[in-house]
A = this chain, B = another copy of it.
Amino acid sequence: MASTTEKPPILDIPDEDYGDISTATMLDLYYYIRLAREMELRLINLFKQNKVVGGLYPGYAHEATTVGTALALGDDDVLLPLHRDLGAQLARRQPLKYIFAQYMGKVDSPTRGKDGNVHLANPELNIVGCISHIGAMFPVAVGISYAGRLLGKTVVTMTYTGDGGTSIGEFHEALNFAAVLNVPFILVVENNQFAYSTPTNQQYKVKRIADRAAAYGIAGEQVDGNNAMAVYAATRRAVERGRRGEGPTLLECMTMRMMGHSVHDPAGYVPRELLEEWKAKDPVARIERYLLRKRVLTPADVKDWTARLQREVDEAVEFAENSPLPQAEDAARGVWAEEGPAKSLH
């Protein structure tokens, strides 16, 4: 597919052939994309109220990519999301309340306050949380897929990187391992055109990151990352390739970081026009207009959903606010598996 930066802006999801996507899936896309958006906005609010502990790296306007990719996985597949991928966590059914509890450092988060913000796992849901060091999860994902093979199961693994993260050595190592071992591994590049303050022309000189797939003899695809239908369809193709034993895929989703790198960052280095151009391509509005046009949704539905989402977010925030902070002494416990719980993916 063509780079979205080469074409005139597509303000709506075009009527292309996205393959056989059921109405239920379209509604799931819509639901999780909107939920991710509402959650992000609430997190930003909570941050301003000093209720968020630590930093906040908004995935705002990345929802079509994060949700569209994660929804294409099956339950036995494994998701390893990165720092802008709360949408993927939600699509994987990570409970919203856990996310808020995590951001507030509360004991009822899956890390019991030991880790923060996006470093969220859920062994029951086959979600592995990332470490901050970009690149580290790539070979881990390859190993999970490979384990699946030895255990007689096709386990597709999917992990993420930003455009900046593609400069790290493990991008190369893991894609090469996956190619040689021919495992069903999907590396999603969320190309949001900046790595913190660094624009892509200072990060790489190749035209499209997806073209790097050729350097490993694997499939590569570039897709409009603000078009949830296209993202989902492309990811499903990648998943199916993996299930058919055709190995890994490098999937580049073109999007734009509409806020600062973190809430602290005013992002003065981003050209105004770029933001305006991409504002028109907002992924939430686009999927909504598309589903209205396709009569999957009615304007009345949209209103109902809005109320429902507000309620869900309110409840989750309430849960998190009521959850206690962890006991101080718990800091000293849990380094070793002997201390329990000693969970696994399944």
Contact = CB atoms under 8 A, between A and B. Distances in A.
Interface of A: 135, 167-173, 176, 179-180, 202-207, 211-212, 214-218
Given A176-B167, A179-B205, A180-B204, A214 B217 contact: no
A321 to B, nearest CB: 43
Contacts of A180: 202-205
Contacts of A173: 167-169, 172
Contacts of A169: 135, 168-173
Specify how many copies of this chain sit in the oligomer.
2
Contacts of A203: 180
A181 to B, nearest CB: 9
Nearest to A172: B172
Given A169-B170, A169-B173, A171-B172, A205 B216 contact: yes
B211 A207 contact: no
A170 B173 CA distance: 9
B207 A217 contact: yes
9 contacts: A169-B169, A169-B173, A176-B205, A179-B205, A180-B203, A180-B204, A206-B215, A206-B216, A212-B215
Nearest to A171: B172
A211 B206 contact: no
A336 to B, nearest CB: 30
Contacts of A206: 179, 214-217
A193 to B, nearest CB: 16
Contacts of A217: 204-207
Given A169-B172, A180-B205, 7 more contacts: A135-B169, A171-B172, A172-B173, A176-B205, A206-B214, A206-B215, A211-B214
A211 B204 contact: no
A189 to B, nearest CB: 13
A323 to B, nearest CB: 40
Closest 10 CB pairs of A and B: A169-B169, A172-B172, A205-B217, A215-B215, A212-B215, A179-B205, A206-B217, A169-B173, A167-B176, A169-B170
A204 B207 CA distance: 23
Contacts of A205: 176, 179-180, 216-218
A203 B135 CA distance: 20
B216 A214 contact: no
A14 B215 CA distance: 30
A138 to B, nearest CB: 10
Contacts of A167: 172-173, 176
A207 B216 CA distance: 9
A201 to B, nearest CB: 8
